[in-house]
Amino acid sequence: MTHSDLAAIVLAAGQGTRMRSRRPKVAHPLAGRPLLGHVLDTLDALGAGRRVVVVGPDMPEVQAIAAPAPTVEQAERLGTAHATLQARPALDDPPGTVLILYGDTPLIRPDTLRAMVDARAEAALVVLGFRAADPTGYGRLVTGADGGLDAIVEHKDASEAQRAITLCNSGVMAVDGRLLFPLLERVGNDNAKGEYYLTDIVALARADGHRCAVVEGNEAEMLGINDRAQLAAAERVVQDRLRAAAMAGGVTMTDPASVFLSMDTRFGQDVSVGPFCVFGPGVTLGDDVEIKGFCHFEGCEVAAGAVLGPYARLRPAAIVGEGAHIGNFVEVKKATVEAGAKVNHLTYIGDARVGAKANVGAGTITCNYDGFGKYHTDIGAGAFIGSNSALVAPVKIGDGAIIGAGSAITKDVPADALALTRAPQTTKERWAAMFRTHMKRLTGKG
């Protein structure tokens, strides 16, 4: 559900020099999703009907993340008020409330923003604050006797009494849409940095007789990401949230702290996950799936009752059918392993289909790449592939066929046939004993 009376401006023009990266800061991934993507997802959950993302020059990657939301460019980085003002062409008819958010602050929950929107009904401007364990460096929110916001005072400008205030400014605001751009136009840059600060609109609104208010959020939600250490700190917060949600939904985790999820990981009920498993983006698991330790999955789908691992790897476009087994040191890529099939040991299945109840022996590989193209291997239902076999694609193994261990199969095998390519075995009686005697005489050893 969207709110036509609510819009958002997301400031995402910063390059993030402290990240030491060629990638724009808001494009860095957090639990498999860009920082900016988290903010936009929160707006989706909130139901914000319109949003505009302010980007810097030459940021096609950020524009792609923002799509389909429109973007506007801040050609010169002259401060947060200047950045917000760039959104005016895209919001020429602002709704009742405009949220101003930051693309590098991805942890704020929808409920927190909803509380700000609700509070905006009684105030022209609402600032999101938090109680900092260490407020050093943060702007302080000075409130009046009625609980309203009187001023935002930067740390360097604060008196001793004001520095004792623990209520700090997050920078996130909800503003009356009719007032936002007229207030921004009046912001000056008479300060040490010569920048136009968004926080100055609080004093301007107060001077015009408008009420301003504060809504408090949790400090952990306000973490802004400016470097790799803060990115890692945010990852810990998000992973804790995701693990807690998964377990609340019916997932058993032997060692939750060693399991890493993505924002879009989807679990059925009664899934069990062993230690040291990683779920990259795009993983969906059905009910009663058992995942043993040290597995790595991305872009795959696993049906109910399947058993995977330990040390299994599912790569993009892997589909594992109901009750199938993918065992230790098995890699599956762009392949379907159908219901009840077993691929249990030291095997690579790529660009292939493994039919229902087929059994693929240890050390088997589908040879799907010749250095130029990828080719498909089709293994029929109930087929038995002997250990250490190489299936050279394109090739089809018929239903119920048997491939002898150690074979290199280059031609199609009919259903229920036996195919093998071993050379005949040669045995020479007592040859090993004679060899050892000869070598001892030759070398003088033993």
Helices then strands (H, E): number in the chain? 9, 32
Half-sphere exposure of 196 (CA within 13 A, CB side): 18
Angle at 441 between CA 438 and CA 442, to 5 degrees: 85
Strand runs labelled E in 154-270: 167-176, 212-217, 251-253
Compute how many other C-beta atoms are within 10 angstroms of the C-beta atom of residue 175: 28
> Among 3, 296, 345, 376, which one carries the catalytic annotation?
345
CB distance 295 to 313 below 8 Å: yes
**CA–CA distance, 295 with 308 (Å, rounded to integer):** 8
Compute how many other C-beta atoms are within 10 angstroms of the C-beta atom of residue 114: 15
CB distance 9 to 98 below 8 Å: yes
Q: Sign (positive/negative) of CA torsion 351, 355, 356, 360? A: negative
Residues 6+ apart with CB under 8 A from 345: 327, 328, 329, 330, 361, 362, 363
**Structure token digits, residue 231:** 């990115």
* Residue of 118, 256, 112, 225 lying closest to 172 (CA atoms): 112
**Residue 100 CA, distance from chain mean position:** 24
**Residue 72 CA, distance from chain mean position:** 25
**CA–CA distance, 129 with 332 (Å, rounded to integer):** 48
Catalytic (active site) residue 438: no
Compute how many other C-beta atoms are within 10 angstroms of the C-beta atom of residue 320: 30
**CA–CA distance, 116 with 130 (Å, rounded to integer):** 13
Q: Sign (positive/negative) of CA torsion 133, 136, 137, 138? A: positive
**CA–CA distance, 128 with 365 (Å, rounded to integer):** 57
The region, left, alpha or beta by phi > 0 then psi within -120 to 50, assigned to residue 12 is alpha
**CA–CA distance, 406 with 388 (Å, rounded to integer):** 5
**Residue 253 CA, distance from chain mean position:** 20
Catalytic residue positions? 345
